[in-house]
Amino acid sequence: MMEPNTRPRRFQLLVFDWDGTVADSTAPIVHAVQAAYHDLGLLPPTENAARYIIGLELGKAFTTLSPEQPERMITGLLERYRYHYLLGDAEIPLFDGMRALLEKLDRQHYLLGVATGKSRKGLDRVLRQKNLMKRFHATRCADESFSKPHPEMLLHLMERLGVAPEQTLMIGDTTHDILMAKNARVPALAVSYGAHDKDILRQNQPLDIVDSVAALDTWLAMHG
């Protein structure tokens, strides 16, 4: 049954980043990045540096971390990263309350999308694992578009679902998400429980910053 809505709706389409926004995957990603460097005998990046590149297409992520490395070394890092990440991929949970929130938003007839730095294969795998394949109306991945912060992922989702930028909200945990939204002329809401801390998120001027899934639920009820 549709939940009552007593006010005009500002947004029709809610686009979620995945890692660090829907799924609690920041720590596993950081571990896999650092382990990849260890495997190849390279000095691993700091935790903060590894957290910064979360959300970027993987190739761009590693070239951002190590611009001095030749292509063959970047390829090796990608291979080792995937090995370590996939060891624990199936155990990565959704953030507490996220499944219930997605179900609620679906009942309220929002259009739901995903714009992620994951590959199509990776996103489809986790959507199947979490039984969420039918929850989202459209999804877009980094191997199908330019990497964040380029606006192409959002532009594609809006075109596919027939929603204007001002009726779309990007929800993400990184500056890459906020800047992608700005480049697409889409409002952005930041969450501070993922990869990037509140100070750096604030510098990029999202509509607001929320600190938990419960706070995200409340914000959407008040402003969505």
Active site residue 96: no
Q: Which of the residues 17, 173, 177, 217 is marked catalytic? A: 17
In angstroms, rounded to a whole number, what is the distance separating the alpha carbons of residues 182 and 179? 5
Nearest of 74, 86, 152 to residue 115 by alpha carbon: 152
In angstroms, rounded to a whole number, what is the distance separating the alpha carbons of residues 106 and 103? 5
Q: Which of the residues 19, 173, 177, 217 is marked catalytic? A: 19
Using CB atoms within 10 Å of the CB of residue 51, give its burial: 0 to 12 exposed, 13 to 18 middle, 19+ buried.
buried
Nearest of 90, 115, 102 to residue 173 by alpha carbon: 115
Active site residue 17: yes
Indicate the Cα dihedral angle 154, 19, 51, 54, nearest 10°: -40
The structure tokens listed for 11 are: 């947004």
Catalytic residue set: 17, 19
